[in-house]
Amino acid sequence: MLRSILALGKSLLNSLRDLAPIILVITFFQLVVLQQPIPDLGGLLGGTLLVTLGLTFFIYGLEMGLFPIGESMAQAFSQKGSVFWLLVFAFTLGFSTTVAEPALIAVAAEAAKVAANGGMIESSEHAMHSYATGLRLTVAISVGLAIVIGVLRILKGWPIHYLIIGGYAGIVIMTGFAPPAIIGIAYDSGGVTTSTITVPLVTALGVGLASSIRGRNPMVDGFGLIAFASLTPMIFVMGYGMII
């Protein structure tokens, strides 16, 4: 009992240390640069307490739930030996975690505004809504494909940098043809697709796969799934902007 309380206290302190920089930055700019009092000190302290508790629980649950399930599924798939179902799983995981991602919904709505302003689509509510939905599906499909490509890479042992450099070349070529208004959003869409829950799960999946296949090094082959998931949306969003 005492030991678990001590462990909890230690991880709370760790979380507080993780959050200290952000609190310092905000206080410094508020008091020294903008020279204004902190509007709601009680709320700020209460919020900081919630954030600290939240981060502690998250890290705790991460090592209890997300990491083990990702790895045990990777092992189960490699024992079952069915590449087809593994790839179906990879696609479904990528697609389903992305399509409902709040950051993506926000970006898609912004993109629809840009498209309507630029005269690419009608500026009616209906046209903007269907544009945004199409964009979300496009990004979700591209993330699903990215995880499939990433998993195939782990299975085959392809070196990652050829694929990534190929992806970069794709982005550069698409940039030359895509309508200028969509470029900023396309570049940003790469970063927003991977949420806080997806990242640990996908990382555990990749590392688990690489460690259960003989001849693969978890460090060299296990990482890289997230990299694909943040690369393909850029290409697909620019493609979407060109077609519509």
Partner 1 sequence: MEWLTGLFHSLLATLRDVLPIAVVIFGFQLLILRRPIPHLKRVLFGFFYVLLGLSLFLQGLEQALFPLGRLMAEQLTHPDFMQNGSAGLQHVLNWADYYWVYIFAFAIGFSTTVAEPSLIAVAIKAHQVSAGAIGVWGLRIAVAIGVAVGISLGTWRIVTGYPLQYFIITGYVMVIIQTYYAPKLIVPLAYDSGGVTTSTVTVPLVAALGLGLAESVPGRSTLLDGFGLIAFASLFPIMSVMAYAQISEFRARLDARKKV
Helix/strand/coil percent split, the chain, to 5? 85, 0, 15
Q: Which residue is listed with tokens 């640990």?
A: 200
Letters for 185-224 (x = contact with partner 1 by CB under 8 A, - = none) are x-xx-xxxxxxxxxxxx-xx--x----------xxxxxxx
Among 5, 34, 37, 126, binds partner 1 (CB under 8 A): 34
- Nearest to 134, CA basis, from 26, 244, 9, 30: 244
Residue 134 beta carbon to partner 1: minimum distance, rounded to whole angstroms? 19
Contact stretch for partner 1 (CB under 8 A) within 2-10, 32-40, 122-130, 131-139: 32-40
Contact stretch for partner 1 (CB under 8 A) within 2-10, 126-134, 163-171: 163-171
User: Dihedral of CA 171/177/180/181: which sign?
Assistant: negative
Using the rule CB under 8 A, is 157 a contact of partner 1?
no
Using the rule CB under 8 A, is 125 a contact of partner 1?
no
For residues 102 and 164, what is the distance between their CA atoms, to the nearest angstrom?
A: 27
Residue 203 beta carbon to partner 1: minimum distance, rounded to whole angstroms? 5
Contact stretch for partner 1 (CB under 8 A) within 1-9, 35-43, 121-129, 131-139: 35-43
Using the rule CB under 8 A, is 8 a contact of partner 1?
no
Token pair recorded at residue 28:
């410094």
Q: Which residue is listed with tokens 């046209």?
A: 127
Site residues (CB under 8 A) for partner 1, limited to 76-115: 76-77, 80, 85, 89, 92-93, 96-97, 99-103, 110, 113-114
Among 229, 237, 239, 240, binds partner 1 (CB under 8 A): 229
For residues 83 and 88, what is the distance between their CA atoms, to the nearest angstrom?
A: 9
**Phi/psi at 213 (5° precision):** -100, 130
Using the rule CB under 8 A, is 149 a contact of partner 1?
no
Using the rule CB under 8 A, is 166 a contact of partner 1?
no
Contact stretch for partner 1 (CB under 8 A) within 1-9, 121-129, 130-138, 165-173: 165-173
Contact 52, 9 (CB under 8 A): no
Contact 98, 183 (CB under 8 A): no
